[in-house]
Chain A
Amino acid sequence: MRRTLQRSLVIVVAGAAIGLVGNAVSPRGIAWLTPPPARWEAKDNVALDEAKQFWSSGAAVFLDARSPADYAAGHIANAFNLPAEKFDEHYPQVATMLAPDTRIVCYCDGVECDLSHHLVELLRQRGYTSVRILVNGWTSWHRAGYPTTKGTQP
């Protein structure tokens, strides 16, 4: 039994060592430690009633950061789908509607959901200056009884 444990340990250490070397020599190597998440501040969020005002007056473009399947199952009316996980694939279609200073509201679903945060980072990297998050967006919008729609179109 003792020999089994020792050899198990050897396998783990050897595998880890190969991984570290592979990472070190790879041009796509990553840092050993995960960088801390971007710091989010209160001004990055938009409150539900403020978001509703933007929506009613057409003062903002709403972007749904969830998957196309979740989007099709129900989304905020007039919101466009820009899945954070497939950003590069969907961005070109959405980009035609956005100017650098367009007010953008991103949302996903659930307070734990960070797809909208990813999306905000990706959009800010591309120079959009007025991007904010509606936290727990789909659920809180839906619960408030605000306009929603189903399907693949906004």
Chain B
Amino acid sequence: MRKAINLILRLIVGGVFIFAGIVKIWNVQVKTAHQGHDIAITVSASNVPDYGTFATDVTNYRVPPRALGNLVAITLPWIEVLAGALLVLGIWARPSALVIACLMIVFLLAIGQAVTRGLNINCGCFGTVEGRKVGLIALAEDAVLLAMAAWLAWREQD
């Protein structure tokens, strides 16, 4: 039973992280346009790694040191993809879950301080997909992901 639960949690958390990393790296944009009753959805992405948009999102959080914003934008998405992929595959599941749990804590703190300061900024959580702002929904999502990752970091095997 526990194995089944852990497998499901791994697929969810890992899948979310792979997705979140990829949309940041290739700057995937989803646009919806309403035309009468029809809704046209267009998806565009860069064909090469394109960190500029996410770098702006990171800098907008205004967590010092400002200069390191680009470095975070360059490295963070790949750490997300790698940890997510390992978690899905069940290789090094526990360390992967630990990395993800730590990232979730960092994200919660970053979004929390932005909400507290009243910054009206893009979440950047899933790149520009949804174009969501920071807020309580983003915090709630991250809290759920943190709980799942923490469970895996506690219960999974190395």
Contact = CB atoms under 8 A, between A and B. Distances in A.
Contact of B70 (A7, A8, A34): A34
Classify the interface of chain A: helix, strand, loop or mixed.
helix
Contacts of A36: 66-67
Classify the interface of chain B: helix, strand, loop or mixed.
helix
Contacts, number: 104
Interface residues of B, number: 42
Interface of A: 3-8, 10-12, 14-16, 18-20, 22-23, 25-34, 36-37, 85, 109-110, 112-114
Interface of B: 25, 46, 48-52, 55, 59-60, 62, 66-71, 73-83, 86, 92, 94-96, 98-99, 102, 117-120, 122, 158
Nearest to A118: B56
Contact of A34 (B49, B66, B78, B118): B66
A25 B48 CA distance: 9
A70 to B, nearest CB: 8
Contact of B92 (A7, A30, A37): A7
B60 to A, nearest CB: 8
Contacts of B52: 28, 30
Given A19-B79, A22-B78, A27-B48, A11 B95 contact: yes
Contact of B80 (A15, A33, A109): A15
Nearest to A110: B118
Contacts of A14: 82
B153 to A, nearest CB: 8
27 contacts: A3-B158, A4-B95, A4-B98, A5-B98, A7-B95, A10-B95, A11-B79, A11-B83, A11-B92, A11-B95, A11-B96, A12-B99, A15-B79, A16-B75, A18-B78, A23-B49, A26-B49, A26-B51, A30-B55, A30-B70, A32-B71, A33-B68, A34-B66, A34-B67, A36-B66, A85-B122, A112-B119
